[in-house]
Homo-oligomer: A and B are copies of this chain.
């Protein structure tokens, strides 16, 4: 961590700051230049409150050199983490596909899709029950009933299930949900993250719509700081000026995060683009870039889906994607 001192500050003010920093168990190196004086802070800076420092009158700016995340940091945990979702392993060479409809609609729908995607190679079943919608007038999901239908599909097929939580008060409803998803709009809902940190549930943490990888890892850190290290990151596209695609899928986040963290990372090409025709090329690209898995929307009747149909694949299309992904994995292994 580097603290840049304002011009014209007195010697004894700098000395006082150095004493205070040293009392925080940091080693301080002083560099004095004609126009700038710099303090290099060495030690465990991940717990230094950067705004606290910046607010000191003699400090012009503070820059982090090492990352502010610690539990998620590859440097302190060199080996890949593997998250075990009720027997399905993800990470460190274990590739998994999560598939299913945007919204759970009926028992027939979810059971049928579950069977079809399982046959085609999916190892986890997704289905939205609580839906975050921009408009209060849009369909909000079947909620608790949707979770019950998912559990039926799990029983029928043996597939672990994945669904999104929007409220920590619903945690008891998620007891039999195997992987709990935190959606993009809740990536910085710190109260929710803290509650999830108290559980031992595997968490699928989606990237926020306009968030950096650093902020994303800090959100993972919130959950890990509570004691829950079962986190899978999910890239789902970020907001840019482009309008032909709904979001811009940041596939480079896959190898970049692989350097920064030991946590597994999967990609959701369905939400990222919002166009079903783009799901296959983006799924292949993600696999080629080294992702640990994929999350893909599949619907048995896209024309009548209650939500996000434009981005859903049919079971047949999913089968084709799944097989093509397998071929790519052969090559990049």
Which 5 A/B pairs are nearest by Cβ-Cβ distance? A55-B309, A33-B42, A210-B210, A31-B40, A29-B31
Tell me if A38 counts as interface (CB < 8 A to partner B): yes
Contact for A331 among B57, B252, B324, CB less than 8 A? B324
Question: Which residues of chain B are within 8 angstroms of A275 by Cβ–Cβ distance?
Answer: 256
Whether A212 lies near B191 (C-beta < 8 A) is no
Tell me if A289 counts as interface (CB < 8 A to partner B): yes
Distance in Å: Cβ of A42 to nearest Cβ of chain B: 3
Distance in Å: Cβ of A114 to nearest Cβ of chain B: 21
Given contacts A252-B272, A303-B57, A310-B54, contact A239 B241 (CB under 8 A): yes
Whether A278 lies near B255 (C-beta < 8 A) is yes
Distance in Å: Cβ of A39 to nearest Cβ of chain B: 9
Distance in Å: Cβ of A282 to nearest Cβ of chain B: 6
Partner-B contacts on A (CB < 8 A): 2, 4, 27, 29-36, 38, 40, 42-43, 46-47, 49, 51-52, 54-57, 61, 63, 65-66, 68, 75, 132-139, 166-169, 185-186, 188-191, 194, 209-215, 218, 221-222, 225-226, 238-245, 248-256, 259-260, 272-273, 275, 277-278, 281-282, 284-290, 302-303, 305-310, 312, 324, 327-328, 330-332
Bound state CA distance, A51 and B246, in angstroms? 12
Bound state CA distance, A136 and B312, in angstroms? 36
Bound state CA distance, A70 and B218, in angstroms? 37
- How many chain copies? 4
Contact for A191 among B167, B214, B248, B251, CB less than 8 A? B167
Given contacts A238-B242, A240-B240, contact A55 B285 (CB under 8 A): no
Question: Which residues of chain B are within 8 angstroms of A307 by Cβ–Cβ distance?
Answer: 49, 51-52, 55
Whether B38 lies near A33 (C-beta < 8 A) is no
Question: Which residues of chain B are within 8 angstroms of A57 by Cβ–Cβ distance?
Answer: 302-303
Bound state CA distance, A210 and B211, in angstroms? 9
